[in-house]
Amino acid sequence: MLSSIALEEFDEAKYRKFLHTLSDEALIKEGKKLPWFSGDGKIVSTRVCVFHQQLKICREEYRRRHSITPKSRDASR
């Protein structure tokens, strides 16, 4: 998949690694800017939008960081 701006291949593994280095606040900022870049679902295209893919990955990372596992749920009781 080509990046819309740089016209280079989007490296999902590299982007995920970048997200792991961000603080929670920076991750939220990254996620908030991506809907604007991706057209927020308003643009219809036959190509996959890299920004939409990045937003999906940001959301996955946020959920991974803030998910409640069964062990941590039991410990809080």
The reported pTM is 0.54
Note the pLDDT tens digit of each residue in 8-63. 788 889 999 999 999 999 998 988 887 766 665 555 455 567 878 888 899 899 99
Question: In the predicted model, is pLDDT for residue 68 greater than 70?
Answer: no
Residue 20 CB burial class (10 angstroms; 0-12, 13-18, ≥19): exposed
| pLDDT tops 80 at residue 1 | no
Kindly report, residue by residue over 24-38, the tens digit of the pLDDT. Answer: 999 989 888 877 666
